[in-house]
Amino acid sequence: DFTHDRHRTVDDTPYGGGSGMLLKPEPVFEAVDAIRAEVDAKAESGSPSGSPHIILTCPGGTQFNQEKACELAAKEHLV
């Protein structure tokens, strides 16, 4: 739903070469924007909903471990 090319591409090769594939940021950000818009629309219509807790990963971020998994599992709306 969030890609705009003919092949609906969500990944690409790493800049500078190397093995593997990387997710393109555009489809991810468009998906998150769509989720936030849906939550806002529900809030305006009077439906009880909390703000989503959005997690975006990066190479320089904190390490994901069991403790962090338990902390995030307690969140009600997790993206």
pLDDT by 10-residue block (mean), the chain, 79 residues:
91 88 91 89 76 84 93 89
Identify whether 1 is part of a domain. no
Q: Could you give the number of structural domains in the chain?
A: 1
Residue 15 pLDDT: 86
Q: Cα–Cα distances in Å, from 78 out to 32, 37, 75?
A: 11, 15, 6
In a domain, 50, yes or no: yes
pTM exceeds 0.75, yes or no: no
Per-residue model confidence (pLDDT) at position 10: 92
User: How far, in Å, are 3, 18, 28, 52, 75 from residue 39 at the CA level?
Assistant: 21, 39, 17, 8, 15
- CB contact at 8 A, 52 and 76: no
Is the residue at 3 inside a domain?
no
The predicted structure's pLDDT at residue 49? 67
